[in-house]
Amino acid sequence: MRSRSLILTTLLLAIFTTTLRAQTSDPSSESVISAPESAISNSEAVDAGPEAGGGALPLAELQTFADVFHQIRAGYVEEIDDSQLFEFAVKGMLEGLDPHSAYLTKEDYSDLQTTTDGEFSGLGIEIGRRGSYIEIIAPIDGSPAVAAGLQAGDVILKLDGESVKGMTIDEAVQLMRGPIGTPIDLEIGRPGTSEPLEITVVRDAIKVASVRSRLLAPHYGYLRIAQFGRPTGEEAGAALDKLFEEGELKGLVIDLRNNPGGVLGASVAVSDLFMDGGLVVYTEGRHPSSQERFEATPGDRLSGAPIVVLINGGSASASEIVAGALQDVGRAVIMGTRSFGKGSVQTVLPVSETRAVKLTTARYFTPEGRSIQAEGIVPDIVVERARVTSMEGRQIKESDLKGSLDSSAEANPQDAGSESESLANLRENDNQLYEALTLLRGVNLLIPRKPMEAADQSTAETPLAD
């Protein structure tokens, strides 16, 4: 038996050495900064070779591993292929590290690459681990999860009656996947709710609209970014162009609520739109190649117009990079609630044509050196999501009094009831967005007239000297 274990030890050593060499030499390794369903970027490979691990592999531990491998192989109640046992071992190593490191099977690797293009099948939720259960980090805009009422912070207790306690992320994802149009029953634990909720979600193809925009009011724009895919920076720039076609922008709300993150380069590109140069984010890891700095180019698309960024507990990863950068350089007011706190970078290291390892290799830092990991972005102004109802009833005005004098001034078209009605609806349906718009308007009330305008006016009013 000992000789067989020794042979297995030698075999394992050869396999691990070959794998490590493949990781260090493969130029196709890619970095991601979000949780399991996020997209892939084109960052340089991170070396994970023996020199980064601090020495040779421990032969004694490999011998123990080989002995356990042999005992399972020889005595487990059912026969298991050696290749399956090796796969279990690799998964176990990665699951013991952190919630975002994972072994990607053929299906997992394909799914990860597919989400880069912004379309995949499933429920439309970003998930992570919370204790022994699975937590919803954020539902994706327009997904079946949103339609069914799932929320960021919900904890999944059961899937189709099967408890997820102790279940891996990959196992939960496999249960949630299925043919389009088929239902799945979720038992949900929700903060503030004493009893579990039973929610049925119908699986569908998830087509993610990365960026949406509209005017909240004349001269005040709204930019919603649902996630950060490869083209998000370009899409955000195009959305700004459409808003500019409506006229001058005096303020902009960037909505990053329930945005689970995505590609690192996209977060830098979005930040670049609103920063006039300077550091956006930098990363630090054990290996020199994981230490990078990302700078914005000169030129602010809004020319300094005020910005409010909305975040909440579902804002993670790339969302926190944007919010942290704009907060540190004083370019935006951050409003809402504390973000999720995922400040780590994952690198996808292919180990074959169909399988890969997603490994946490670095932490990222805001321009002022703040690490977001486990802390999140703290808003400048905390506004909890709430339902707001007016306590004011119909009040008597001067114009209601018998014989009151008519106004001598012409009616202002901006005083029409349509705008006030839309703002009232906004206040009732989305109090955080309403407060963001109110802040932008207030800031503009305090901004003095531009010096050029004042100079032009004084010149026009001053007669020319003979």
Cα separation, 72 vs 59, in Å, equals: 20
Instruction: Sketch out the chain's domains with CATH numbers.
Output: 2-54+62-75+82-112 (no CATH), 120-207 (2.30.42.10), 211-347+359-382 (3.90.226.10)
Place of tokens 């026009």: 460
Please state, rounded to an integer, the average pLDDT across all residues of the chain.
Answer: 80
To the query of whether residue 317 is one of the catalytic residues in this protein, the response is: yes
Q: How does residue 117 score in pLDDT terms, banded at 50, 70 and 90?
A: low
pLDDT 10s digits, 61-101: 888 988 999 899 999 999 999 888 988 998 899 988 998 89
pLDDT of residue 423: 82
To the query of whether residue 328 is one of the catalytic residues in this protein, the response is: yes
Given the residues 31, 267, 290, 317, the one annotated as active site = 317
Given the residues 108, 204, 255, 328, the one annotated as active site = 328
User: Which residues pair with residue 310 across a beta bridge?
Assistant: 255, 335
Cα separation, 270 vs 225, in Å, equals: 10
Cα separation, 170 vs 164, in Å, equals: 11
To the query of whether residue 397 is one of the catalytic residues in this protein, the response is: no
pLDDT of residue 443: 93
Residue in 189, 161, 154 with CA at minimum distance from that of residue 175: 161
pLDDT of residue 392: 64
Place of tokens 């980064």: 52
pTM above 0.75, yes or no: no
Q: How does residue 19 score in pLDDT terms, banded at 50, 70 and 90?
A: very low
Environment class of 330 (CB within 10 Å of its CB; exposed 0-12, middle 13-18, buried 19+) = exposed
Residue 462 clears pLDDT 50, i.e. is over it: no
Q: What is the Cα 465 distance to its own chain's centre?
A: 63
Cα separation, 21 vs 50, in Å, equals: 8
Cα separation, 343 vs 446, in Å, equals: 36
pLDDT 10s digits, 178-232: 888 999 999 999 988 989 999 999 999 877 668 999 999 999 999 999 889 889 9
pLDDT 10s digits, 309-368: 999 999 999 999 999 999 999 999 999 999 999 999 888 888 888 888 989 999 999 999
Question: b/e for 248-266, b at 16 or more Cβ within 10 A?
Answer: ebbbbbbbbbbbbbbbbbb
At a CB cut-off of 8 Å and minimum separation 6, what does 325 contact?
Answer: 271, 275, 279, 280, 281, 331, 366, 367
Residue 13 clears pLDDT 60, i.e. is over it: no
pLDDT 10s digits, 418-439: 456 778 888 888 999 999 999 9
Cα separation, 87 vs 103, in Å, equals: 9
pLDDT of residue 45: 29
At a CB cut-off of 8 Å and minimum separation 6, what does 304 contact?
Answer: none
Given the residues 158, 250, 342, 358, the one annotated as active site = 342
Cα separation, 181 vs 201, in Å, equals: 9
Whether 372 and 126 have beta carbons less than 8 Å apart is answered as: no
